[in-house]
Amino acid sequence: MDGKFIVFEGVEGCGKTSQMQLCAEWLQSLGISVVLTREPGGTALGVDLRRLLLEKSEDKPICEVTELLLYAADRAQHVAQELKPQLAQGKYVLCDRYIDSTIAYQGYGRGLDMNLIHQLNNIATGGLISDITIWLDVDVEVGLARKRKGNVGLDRIEQETIAFHRRVQKGYADLAASSPARIIRVDGSLSKENVHQKIQEIFNLHLKLG
Ligand code: TMP
């Protein structure tokens, strides 16, 4: 595969979406062909799965293992239909969340079995891992406050307890510590411009752009 697979991760309100947009514009200005995508919801089927996963509905509860399987199903479809074909065409694929979200949210957050999560991640990805993963590290309270300021209400996962979100944050910290070559921490509390500048430096170094 000639393309590059770049993933953005972090807790709610960490700034992934705006940083991905800035990166896409920057890479395109260098003449690089970029695709922006996300999980869940990077395919037509995934859009339906995302709605099922994130809408808060009292009369349609989702048990924890079902939630895990739905994220895995979204990923399997996304890898096969979108990620692998785009990478094979030499594109730079910028993806909002991937396997580390499942480890952080379903593993650390929900406390589901890590072996099961790794097995499902392997099945869903067929072994596709990122060239680099940017972890935008912000304090959980800061991120949730940013979300609350937005016009849309909080979704099913955002409405989880603060203790849940803190476990997710711990998950990212552990992942970054155990895979330092793949997962690079960026301080997400810096200004939007400064975060973007740090990400540019990381890309230049790790993806040999400069
Ligand atoms: P976001 O795209 O706005 O960040 O929302 C996606 C939500 O789904 C977010 O709360 C994290 C959650 N999520 C999981 O719990 N597990 C996963 O594997 C993925 C990809 C996302």
CA distances (Å), origin 70, targets 31, 58, 61, 120, 198: 36, 18, 13, 11, 34
Phi, psi angles (nearest 5°) of residue 24: -60, -45
Across the chain, what does the average pLDDT equal?
96
DSSP assignment letter at 181: T
Q: How far is the CA of 168 from the centre of ligand 1 (A)?
A: 11
**Closest CA to ligand 1's atom 19:** 101
Q: How far is the CA of 11 from the centre of ligand 1 (A)?
A: 9
Q: What is the pLDDT of residue 14?
A: 96
Q: Give percent helix, percent strand, percent coil of the chain, each to the nearest 5.
A: 55, 15, 30
Rounded to whole angstroms, the Cα distance separating 178 from 8 reads 17
- 123-151 residues labelled b (16+ CB within 10 A) or e (exposed): ebbeebebbbbbbbbbebeebbeebeeee
Enter the pTM of the model.
0.97
* Percent of all residues in the chain with a pLDDT value above 70, rounded to a whole number: 99
**Closest CA to ligand 1's atom 21:** 101
**Closest CA to ligand 1's atom 16:** 102
Average pLDDT on 24-39 reads 97
pLDDT at 83 over 70: yes
Q: What are the domain boundaries of the chain? A: 4-206
Q: What is the pLDDT of residue 34?
A: 98
Rounded to whole angstroms, the Cα distance separating 35 from 94 reads 6
Cβ-proximal residues to 181 (8 Å cutoff; 6+ apart), any chain: none
Where does 4-206 sit in CATH, by number?
Answer: 3.40.50.300
Strands (E), 10-91: 34-38
Q: What is the pLDDT of residue 57?
A: 82
| Ligand 1 and 71: CB distance under 6 A | yes
Q: What is the pLDDT of residue 12?
A: 96
pLDDT at 1 over 60: no
Q: What is the pLDDT of residue 210?
A: 57
| SS3 category, 71 | helix
> Token pair for residue 172?
């990212």
**Atom of ligand 1 at shortest range from CA of 109:** 15
Contact 49, 73 (CB under 8 A): yes
Rounded to whole angstroms, the Cα distance separating 205 from 188 reads 19
Q: What is the pLDDT of residue 150?
A: 82
- Chain segment 107-159, per-residue pLDDT in tens: 999 999 999 999 999 999 999 999 999 999 999 999 999 999 887 889 999 99
- Chain segment 158-192, per-residue pLDDT in tens: 999 999 999 999 999 999 999 999 999 999 999 99
Q: What is the pLDDT of residue 58?
A: 84
pLDDT at 24 over 80: yes
Average pLDDT on 71-75 reads 98
Q: What is the pLDDT of residue 55?
A: 94
Q: How far is the CA of 61 from the centre of ligand 1 (A)?
A: 17
**Atom of ligand 1 at shortest range from CA of 97:** 20
Q: What is the pLDDT of residue 123?
A: 98
